[in-house]
A and B are shown apart, each in its own frame.
Chain A
Amino acid sequence: MSEKKKSRCIIIPCSGIGKAVGTVSRRATYIVTNELLPNDTDSICLPLLTIKDKETVRKIRETPCITVDGCIAQCAKKNVEHHKGMLKGEIKILDIIKENPKLKPGTVLDIAADGEKLARKAAEKVVKIMGGNC
């Protein structure tokens, strides 16, 4: 009998549609969940937390979460905190930009090469956080 493997950590991007940093957060999450740690990580649709979906709320309370937020509103982190989820770490794309001031993300629809580099740096930070906390 096969049993569905439980992810070690849920990575949650902010779903932001207004700024390129929202798309960078989304891309960073996919780099972790699809490329770097596909067997240990999973993601959820953040809007399911916003509408208080019971199954999703249960999942974030039972599994360590790392949020990846684009802007200062920190929607991902605040939605997880609102539901008392197991928040183990947070990344802010704006901090990654401050650390790499030469990298300027493109647009919401196309973050361009610099946006991709920022996403990779954010993804590496997520992996680092996971090493210590998840």
Chain B
Amino acid sequence: MKVKPKIGLISCSGEGLSEGLISRVATRRILEERDDVVTICLPLFIAGGQEERDFARDNPCITVDGCSKMCAAKGVKMYGKVQPKSSIIISEIVEKDSHLKPKSKNKIEPEDEKLVHETMKAITKEIEKVQEKDE
């Protein structure tokens, strides 16, 4: 029986923007809740070896980016030579509801929890879509 690969969740974790922290925390919480997802530190695409660069080919990837520069999505294309199965951009979630704009890049403030929750909901929805397609 062929074992299905786990879904790769790749967060930008960008340090320069509060949305980068949201991407990191939402991704990490999903990773701790589920056993059908795995991750990789994005900068390992350069710092690691071929095994790290093959991550995106070995695992169908969902990228979680803080801003429109989309480092995670671009990293998957650049090093994995594949398109992410799905891409989530936090700044687009914020655009739909400006009250969700995160306050700090240093720590999750209580008022940022709603955005983390919305991002986790979006990630979960995309995981289910990717799993449905693969069935």
- Residues on A lying within 8 angstroms of B by beta carbon are 12-18, 22, 26-27, 29-30, 34, 43-53, 73-76, 78-79, 82, 108-109
Chain A residues contacting B20 (CB-CB under 8 Å) are 45
Tell me the B64-84 residues at the A interface (CB within 8 Å): 69, 71-72, 74-75, 78
Q: Which residues of A contact B17 (CB under 8 A)?
A: 45
CB proximity to A under 8 Å, residues B111-125: none
B87 CB–A CB distance under 8 Å: no
Query: B61 within 8 Å of A by Cβ?
Result: no
Closest to B108 in A: A109
Are A51 and B41 also in contact (CB < 8 A) when A30-B106, A75-B47 are?
A: no
CB-defined contacts of B24 to chain A, threshold 8 Å: 17
Also in contact, A79 and B46, with CB within 8 A (given A15-B41, A51-B74) = yes
A residues within 8 A CB of B45? 50
Separation of A115 and B27 alpha carbons in the complex (Å): 21
How would residues 32 to 54 of chain B score, 1 for a CB under 8 Å from any chain A CB and 0 otherwise?
10000001111111111000000
Note all chain B residues with C-beta closer than 8 A to A14: 41, 43
Chain B residues proximal to chain A, CB less than 8 Å: 11-17, 20, 24-25, 27-29, 32, 39-48, 69, 71-72, 74-75, 78, 105-106
How far apart sit A50 and B48, CA to CA, in the bound complex (Å)? 11
On whether the beta carbons of A15 and B46 are closer than 8 Å, the reply is no
Chain A: which residue is nearest B74 at the CB level?
Answer: A51
Q: Say yes or no: B39 contacts A43, CB within 8 Å.
A: no
**Contact (A30, B69) CB under 8 Å given A15-B15, A16-B41:** no
**Which A residue sits closest to B78, measured CB to CB?**
A51
CA of A39 to CA of B7 in the docked complex: distance in angstroms?
42
The reply to whether B106 and A46 contact each other, CB–CB distance below 8 Å, is no
**Chain A residue with the shortest CB-CB distance to B20:** A45
Assess whether B46 is in contact with A75, with CB atoms less than 8 Å apart. yes
Known: A14-B41, A27-B106, A108-B28. 17 other contacts (CB 8 A): A13-B15, A15-B43, A30-B105, A30-B106, A43-B15, A43-B16, A45-B14, A47-B72, A50-B46, A51-B78, A53-B71, A73-B41, A73-B44, A73-B47, A75-B48, A79-B47, A109-B28
